[in-house]
Homo-oligomer: A and B are copies of this chain.
């Protein structure tokens, strides 16, 4: 039987900002949303935190220094939404589909994401310059 992979939901929306603390202020004080603790992702030289909103998480990303790809992103586009991550049930099955349909990816094999997830970014040239991440949660 052929597995038909599915998009389950939007996992998170990543927003590149210059100052994390200032960015989350409105969400905390007016929207009264619970702001998660700040983490560092050394691979991307980025400081980040998540805010859950319903079934989605809003992720704020602040470059630690000029080596971060998020610094280059902000330099080029200003503070803006950086990516939308869709949670999928079967990342490998999606990769087969995407390759079969000739959709270009940023990496040919899944990368390790946070919390044991596996992720792949689709080449934004394929998706109206909106960077799309596919995320598979670890088997529970």
Contacts and interface: CB of A to CB of B under 8 A. Distances in A.
A7 B53 contact: yes
Interface in A119-140: 122, 126-130
A103 B30 CA distance: 9
Number of copies: 2
A64 interface: no
Interface in A1-49: 4, 6-10, 13, 15, 17-18, 23, 26, 29-33
Provide the main secondary structure of the chain A interface: mixed
A84 B86 contact: no
Contact of A94 (B17, B30, B54): B30
A79 B129 contact: yes
Contact of A53 (B17, B81, B86, B101): B86
Contacts of A18: 128
Interface string A44-63: 00000000011110100000
A69 interface: no
Contacts of A77: 77, 80
A8 to B, nearest CB: 7
4 closest A-B pairs (Cβ-Cβ)?
A: A9-B54, A81-B81, A79-B128, A79-B129
